[in-house]
């Protein structure tokens, strides 16, 4: 590409790309922060399945998400060392990058002979108030010192 072509591209390309995004279209965002989990066991109520467990999992979130969450988790342990699974549902009340409301997340965590996988997704249509229409995924990282951090990749429709 010669200098003239590069200059023309630099001038025209931003306008061309801007025209491809419809006005009022949802925009993708990413925000990060930390949280403190508070996990408490609950009575399992699974007399015939001692490998199942149940607990509350509440969080205080800081950073891009400011607020608290309330949730419950179900776990299943395996006789194979390093294999287990959990599902959880939680509702976060607070703000996401200044947008106030509530929304729910659903978790699916697996440990396959020591290999972890975790998917945490916004429950469709669970956003309220300024978070109505929120979609996204929530990634959790736990540092060796036990500090919990998150990355939240989300889309939020523009305000009406």
Burial 109-146 (b: 16+ CB within 10 A, else e): bebeeeeeeeebebeeebbeeebbebbbebeeeeeeee
Residue ranges of domains in the chain: 32-156
Whole-model pTM: value is 0.80
Res 48: pLDDT:
79
pLDDT at 5 exceeding the cut of 60: no
CATH for the stretch 32-156: 2.40.350.10
Mean pLDDT for all residues in the chain: 85
- Asked if 41 contacts 49 with a C-beta cutoff of 8 angstroms, the reply is no
Res 7: pLDDT:
35
């Amino acid at each position: 590409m010669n200098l003239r072509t590069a200059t023309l591209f630099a001038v025209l390309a931003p306008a061309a790309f801007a025209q491809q995004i419809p006005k009022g279209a949802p925009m993708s965002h990413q925000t990060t922060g930390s949280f403190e989990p508070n996990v408490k066991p609950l009575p399992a109520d699974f007399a015939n399945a001692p490998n199942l467990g149940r607990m509350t999992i509440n969080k205080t979130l800081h950073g891009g998400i400011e607020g608290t969450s309330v949730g419950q988790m179900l776990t299943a342990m395996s006789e194979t060392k390093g294999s287990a699974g959990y599902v959880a549902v939680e509702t976060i009340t607070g703000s996401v990058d200044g947008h106030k409301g509530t929304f729910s997340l659903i978790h699916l965590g697996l440990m396959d002979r020591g290999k972890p996988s975790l998917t945490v997704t916004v429950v469709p249509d669970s956003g309220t108030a300024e978070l109505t229409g929120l979609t996204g995924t929530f990634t959790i990282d736990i540092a060796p010192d036990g500090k919990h951090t998150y990355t939240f990749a989300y889309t939020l429709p523009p305000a009406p």
